[in-house]
Amino acid sequence: MLPAAAADGVLLVQTVDDGAKTTAASSQVQMEPTRIRTEIHDGDGRRQVVIFNGVTEVLHVVDPAARTYMEVTRADAEKLGGMMSAAMAAFQQQMANMSPEQRQMMEQKMAGMLGGAASVARPEYKKVGTGKALGHACDQYEGYMAGRKTSEICTVAPETLGFSLADFAVLGKLSDFVRRILPQLGDQIVGAGSPELGYAGIPVRTATTDPRSGRTVTMQVTEARRATFDDAIFAVPADYKQTVMPTMGR
């Protein structure tokens, strides 16, 4: 009898609390070195699935309730990025002719539309101590932007969880892909730490505060283990209908 093959995937289960809803959202991440599937359940019961293949560089956003999906290729991402850059340039040109008060109002409006992604700078992290998360000791960091504290993270060495840095390589590919659309969104994909990012380990608890509303969104990993996944979960069901992003014109 042949020995069972070692599980080469990573399963992460997370809860997300935005400090407003009585029911926290949750997500399940199924990850292999070259592909990742995230299933998100919001506090209202809606479900969305996002699938990314790091080899083909194709992203699918799936709506199981409507049985539809959108596909974004690398070329699509670059096209969207060009459109976003042009729109931002036009926006900056308009603001140059505004009064300081009008400029501040427009900046706040844009930040709200982008869900916090309008900020250009990455947080600068400082290690402040240790804590406990997921049943393990974790290193605590505080993130600052423009001198203001905006986030807290608690990280655990991947080896402590039975993983390696290579298990999270696809997150770097996904971040690079999303950065083609909007660099700031790519920066929000939090993966394994590095000297460049300013922290070490895998974030298992994060708390990010919106400077405009003062509301804090907390993400907590509640389960992290190795798993084996069926190829089918990384594919869009054949009977789902493709829809097109209006801006793509395809």
Pick the CATH number of 9-243 from 3.40.50.1100, 3.40.140.10, 3.90.870.10, 2.50.20.10: 2.50.20.10
223 alpha carbon, distance to own chain's centre: 18
Partners of residue 61 on adjacent β-strands = 50, 70
Strands 241-243 and 68-73, how do they pair? parallel
Radius of gyration of the chain (CA): 19
What pLDDT score was predicted for residue 196?
80
**d(C-alpha 158, C-alpha 172), whole Å:** 15
- Using alpha carbons only, give the angle 140, 145, 150 rounded to the nearest 5 degrees: 50
What pLDDT score was predicted for residue 6?
52
Q: Give residue limits of the domains in the chain.
A: 9-243
**pLDDT block averages, 10 residues each, the chain of length 250:** 59 85 79 94 86 96 96 90 70 71 64 50 87 94 88 93 90 85 61 82 87 78 95 96 72
Residue type, 112: G
Residues 6+ apart with CB under 8 A from 116: 188, 208, 210
Q: Kindly list the strands in the beta sheet with 47-53, ordered across the sheet, starting from the edge strand earlier in the chain.
A: 124-133, 136-145, 148-156, 202-209, 216-227, 9-17, 25-32, 35-41, 47-53, 58-63, 68-73, 241-243
What pLDDT score was predicted for residue 4?
41
What pLDDT score was predicted for residue 147?
87
- Using alpha carbons only, give the angle 74, 27, 78 rounded to the nearest 5 degrees: 15
